[in-house]
Structure 1
C-alpha cells in the first residue's frame, strides 16, 4: 500500500529539531509584543538555585501555566519576591530554551497583586478541615511494628511506585505488597485516589497503606489538596503514610495522614523496619536475656551459699533446741507412763497395809486375845500340848504374864461360872 504525499511536503525540505527550534525562537524573541510583556498570575511553585529563582506562574481558571526565572542579578530589584500562592504582576520577556524545546519568561520586575485564588481556596479549606479536627494529633494512629501486608496507592507509571518496590524489597524481602493503582495528576485524580483507598479497605488484608507520588509542580499536586481525598485519608480504617512530592512540598493529605514522610522512599522506610535490623535486635535481646539469666543465677547461687553458711552456723543450736524438745516430750511421756503404775502400786500398798494391819498379832491382842507360849518359846495351840505344873508365858495386848498350869481340860471353858 502506498501513500500519495501532498506536493507541498517534500522530505528534502524537512527541518531539523534545531532548525525548528531556532525558527520558533526567532519568532517569539523578535516579536515586539513578547520582548516586553506584562503578565499576571499566581505563583504555584518556587525554587532557588545558584543561578536564580525559578518558579511557575499559573492561571487557575484557564488551567494554564508558564515557567519563569529571575536571575540572581535581578532579584534585589524586584518589588515583590515570588512565593507560592502569591498573585503577582510580572514584567519580562519571552525566551526560548533550545535544549529543552520550551519557552519561559525572563522576569525583570514583580509587583504584588494580592492573594492568589488557589492559595485562598487552599487556606479556606485547610482552616475548615482543621476546625473539624481532621489534622489533630490525637487522631494519628501508631504504625504496626511488624506489618505483614503493605498496600500502595499511586500511579503504575509513576517513578514513586518503582522507588517503593525497591525500598520494600531491600528492607523486608518476602513482604506481601498490595498495589491499588490510581491517577495522581489531573482532574480525574481525586476520584481515582478515593476509589483506590476504598478498594484497599474492602480487601481487609493490608496492615498499613502508603499514598504516594513523586515530586512535581504545585499544580500537579492539586489532587492531594482535594477535600474528598483528604477526608478519605483521614477516615481510612488503615493507618496511612503519605509520601507525596519532595521535602519542601506539603499537601492537606499529608496533614490528614497518620505519618507524613514527604517522599515515596521515606514512606516505604517508615512502613517497615529493616529485616536485618530486626534480626540484630533479636540477637541483642537474646544475649541481654541470657546475660540477665546468668547474672540472676549467679546472684541466687551466692545467696544460696550464704544461706548454707548461715544454716551451718545455726544448725547446732537448732539441733540442741530440737533435742531439748524431744527430751521434754520423752520426759512427759515417761512421767505419764510411770504415774499410773505408781498410783496403782500405792493403792495396792494401802490395801496390803490394811490387810497386814488386820493380820497383825498385836492388833489381835489389842482386841482381847492372848498368845500362850511354852517356856521354850513355842506357841501352845492345844491343851494337849500342856501339862499340869508347867510354866507358861502369856502375851496380852498390854504386858506379859507368867503362869503355872494347874489343870488341863479339853472341854471349852464356861464363862458363866
Structure 2
C-alpha cells in the first residue's frame, strides 16, 4: 500500500549537495544533502543518466536532480531514483550569493558599527582550519615568529564538502565559549568558488555575527570574497596576513618602544634645558644676583627723594617767609601805628569815633587821646 501510494506522487526537482558518491555496476548511489537544513536523502541513479551529465558531478558538487520517489518493500525504506541531473551553474550560484548578501546586509550583519577591535596582544588565539593544512602552518609559524609567547587553541575541521559548515559552526561555538580565547581566526587556503561555498553559508554567517569574541576571516586569497569576509570583524587576505593582523611583531614593538623612549628623553631633556636656562637667567638678574645692592640702591633713591623733599620744603618756607616779611613791611608802612610813632596822636570819643576837626568838640566832652604805645583820657575845656 505504501509503495503504491508513493508511486502515485509523481516526480520532483530537488537541489542539494552530493555526498557519499559510489558506483556499482550500472547504478550510481549517492546521498543528496541540504547543507542549510541538515537533511539528506538516498538517491540511486542509472549510470547512463550520471554519465550524461556535463560536467560529471563529483562528491561535494551542487546539483538539481529530477527525482521519482520509491519505496523499497524489502528494506522498508524510502529512496529516490534520478531521472535527470543538472549541475548548478556558477552564474546561478553567484546570483544566489548576491541575494543572500543583500538579505544579510539589510539585517545589518555587515555594518561597520558592529565590528569590534582586535586585542593588541591576545592571550590565546582560537584557530579554525583544515586538518594538517598549509593555512594552519602559515598562521602558527608566522604568529610565533612575530611573538613567540603567543598561545593557540586549534580546532581542525573540514573546510570543504558537505560537513564543512556544521564542523566550522561547532568549532566556532566551542572557541567562543572559552573565556581564555581572545580572538578567533577562521583560515583556509585558496580554492575554487565551489570549494569556498561553505564560507558563504547563511548559517555560518549568522553564527559568526552572534559571536562575542572578535573573528578574523582568512579565507582563500586576495581575490576571494566569501560572505564570511563581510561579517567578520577583520578580513585578512591570506592566512599569513591573518597572523600579521592578530599578533603584533615583537621586533617592531621593541623598535617602537625604543623610538618612543628616545623621543621622551629628547622631550624631557629639551624641557629641562629650557627650564635650566630660564633659571640661570633669573639668577643672573640683579635682584637675585646681589639682593643687598638692590636694597642699597633703593635706600639711595629714598635718601635722594628725602633730600629733594627737604630742599623743596625749605625753598617753599623761605619763599613764604620772604613774602610774609614783604607783606609785614607793607602793613607796617600802611599802619596808623607807624604814623603815631612819628609823634602823631588820634583823638577819639568814648564811642570810638575819631575826632577829625576841633569844631566837632564841645566844652566838657570826654575824649581819648591815643599815642603809639598808650592812651590818655582828657576833658575839653574850650575850643579855639
Normalized against structure 1, the TM-score is what?
0.50
The answer on 1:158 being equivalent to 2:161 is no
Provide the secondary structure at the position in 2 that maps to 1:116. Answer: helix
Provide the secondary structure at the position in 1 that maps to 2:194. Answer: helix
CA shift, 1:117, in A, is 2.8
* Alignment partner of 1:176 out of 148, 151, 154: 151
1:291 is aligned to 266
2:64 is aligned to 61
Cα deviation code 1:196-217 (max 9, x no counterpart): 1111111111221111111111
Counterpart Cα distance in 2 of 1:159 and 1:115: 27
Contact map agreement 1:190 1:229 (CA 8 A) in 2:
yes
Cα deviation code 1:286-327 (max 9, x no counterpart): 111111111111111001111112343783576359989xxx
Counterpart Cα distance in 2 of 1:317 and 1:237: 76
CA shift, 1:195, in A, is 1.0
2:255 is aligned to 280
Counterpart Cα distance in 1 of 2:136 and 2:112: 28
Cα deviation code 1:21-55 (max 9, x no counterpart): xxxxxxxxxxxxxxxx99589xxxxxxxxxxxxxx
Q: 1:217 to 1:312 in 2, by over 3 A?
A: same
Counterpart Cα distance in 2 of 1:321 and 1:220: 97
1:118 is aligned to 93
* Alignment partner of 2:166 out of 191, 205, 210: 191
Counterpart Cα distance in 2 of 1:251 and 1:170: 28
2:190 is aligned to 215
- Structure with the bigger RCO (C-alpha within 8 Å, sep 6+) is 2
1:130 is aligned to 105
1:243 is aligned to 218
CA shift, 1:151, in A, is 1.2
Counterpart Cα distance in 2 of 1:235 and 1:123: 21
2:345 is aligned to none
* Alignment partner of 2:288 out of 269, 292, 312: 312
* Alignment partner of 2:233 out of 253, 258, 261: 258
Q: Unaligned 5+ residue runs, structure 2?
A: 1-51, 66-85, 301-384
CA shift, 1:274, in A, is 0.9
The answer on 1:142 being equivalent to 2:113 is no
CA shift, 1:221, in A, is 0.7
Counterpart Cα distance in 2 of 1:175 and 1:40: 46
Provide the secondary structure at the position in 2 that maps to 1:195. Answer: helix
Provide the secondary structure at the position in 2 that maps to 1:173. Answer: coil
Contact map agreement 1:154 1:181 (CA 8 A) in 2:
yes
Q: 1:201 to 1:309 in 2, by over 3 A?
A: same
Counterpart Cα distance in 2 of 1:242 and 1:179: 15
Counterpart Cα distance in 2 of 1:197 and 1:151: 9
CA shift, 1:161, in A, is 0.6
Counterpart Cα distance in 1 of 2:196 and 2:233: 19
Counterpart Cα distance in 2 of 1:261 and 1:115: 25
Q: Unaligned 5+ residue runs, structure 1?
A: 1-36, 42-57, 63-88, 90-112, 325-417
Normalized against structure 2, the TM-score is what?
0.54
Counterpart Cα distance in 1 of 2:174 and 2:284: 72
Counterpart Cα distance in 2 of 1:291 and 1:116: 62
1:302 is aligned to 277
CA shift, 1:248, in A, is 1.0
Counterpart Cα distance in 1 of 2:149 and 2:89: 53
Counterpart Cα distance in 2 of 1:114 and 1:173: 46
RMSD (CA atoms): 3.2
Counterpart Cα distance in 1 of 2:204 and 2:144: 28
Q: 1:251 to 1:306 in 2, by over 3 A?
A: same
Provide the secondary structure at the position in 2 that maps to 1:216. Answer: coil
Length, aligned pairs only: 228
Cα deviation code 1:184-241 (max 9, x no counterpart): 1111111111111111111111221111111111111111011111112122111111
Cα deviation code 1:48-107 (max 9, x no counterpart): xxxxxxxxxx76336xxxxxxxxxxxxxxxxxxxxxxxxxx9xxxxxxxxxxxxxxxxxx
Counterpart Cα distance in 2 of 1:185 and 1:169: 27
Q: 1:305 to 1:159 in 2, by over 3 A?
A: same
Provide the secondary structure at the position in 2 that maps to 1:242. Answer: strand
